[in-house]
Amino acid sequence: MIEIKAVSKKYDGTNALALEEMSLNLNSGDFIFLVGPSGAGKSTLIRLMFREQLPTKGNIYFDKKDIASYSQRELLEHRRKIGMVFQDYKLLKQKTVFENVAFALEVLGRPPKEINKKVNDALEKVGLSHKADKFPRELSGGQQQRVGIARAIVKDPVLILADEPTGNLDRDNALQLMQLFEKINEEGTTVVIATHAWDLVDKMQKRVVALSSGKLTRDKQGGYSHE
């Protein structure tokens, strides 16, 4: 699905490479944990895959097409196919749970009837139908992140990119969130999660891609600490 080929990234105004000659293949249906110390390049890799930024060197192919060569229309379509989930949820405070999720489809110009059905389906999937009319401030952190996930899946993405999605949650909530990602993955969506939650990575037993100083150091199925 995504082929990352010898990608390097240097941010303007810095000398060090955030990513160095990184190559990685993501297959359709994968569940991947991206791990590594702070500054290893995990967020950079996610930004490059979303095409929020371009590589300094190397290429990223999505279904065989170099994403750097996209037209404006192809770029919008690329982003429609990818659901993003963030550590700080990025919910709109003045909108209800329903409206937050609906917004992801409104910006795509979808008709209200379709929006209504898809938002209700997404909220049901994350177990928050009963909170549809609440505002984010009325929800717990775990519930807010479920809204973040509903907002990502409502677009029927082929890929979910989550950057530290459980960073603000306690262990029980974090585990439930990971199990929700697992359910979404089992229904066919490819999932990539950058995380520091080693214990959960160990528990989930998925493909683990480790980065260190911008380089890939490990790519193995299973937990993190067990070789």
Ligand X SMILES: Nc1ncnc2c1ncn2[C@@H]1O[C@H](COP(=O)(O)OP(=O)(O)OP(=O)(O)O)[C@@H](O)[C@H]1O
Total interface residues for ligand X by CB under 6 A: 12
**C-beta of 86 vs 103, nearer to ligand X:** 86
Tokens of 195: 């995380």
Tell whether residue 148 is a contact of ligand X (CB under 6 A): no
Count each helix (H run) and each strand (E run) in the chain, helices first. Answer: 7, 10
37, 89, 111, 152, 167 from 100: Cα distances, Å = 32, 11, 16, 11, 21
Tell whether residue 185 is a contact of ligand X (CB under 6 A): no
Q: Which residues pair with 156 in a beta bridge?
A: none
Q: Distance (Å, rounded) from C-alpha 162 to C-alpha 23?
A: 20
Segment near ligand X (CB under 6 A); pick from 24-32, 40-48, 139-147, 176-184: 40-48
Q: Distance (Å, rounded) from C-alpha 64 to C-alpha 170?
A: 39
7, 41, 43, 82, 153 from 187: Cα distances, Å = 30, 29, 25, 15, 11
Member of 24, 31, 41, 145 binding ligand X (CB under 6 A): 41
Smallest distance from the beta carbon of 44 to ligand X, in angstroms? 3
Tell whether residue 55 is a contact of ligand X (CB under 6 A): no
Q: Distance (Å, rounded) from C-alpha 33 to C-alpha 29?
A: 13
Place of tokens 């995380």: 195
Member of 26, 32, 36, 60 binding ligand X (CB under 6 A): 36
Tell whether residue 221 is a contact of ligand X (CB under 6 A): no
Segment near ligand X (CB under 6 A); pick from 9-17, 93-101, 153-161, 180-188: 9-17
Smallest distance from the beta carbon of 160 to ligand X, in angstroms? 17
**C-beta of 38 vs 221, nearer to ligand X:** 38
* Residues at the site binding ligand X, with contacts judged by CB under 6 A: 11, 14, 16, 18, 36, 38-44
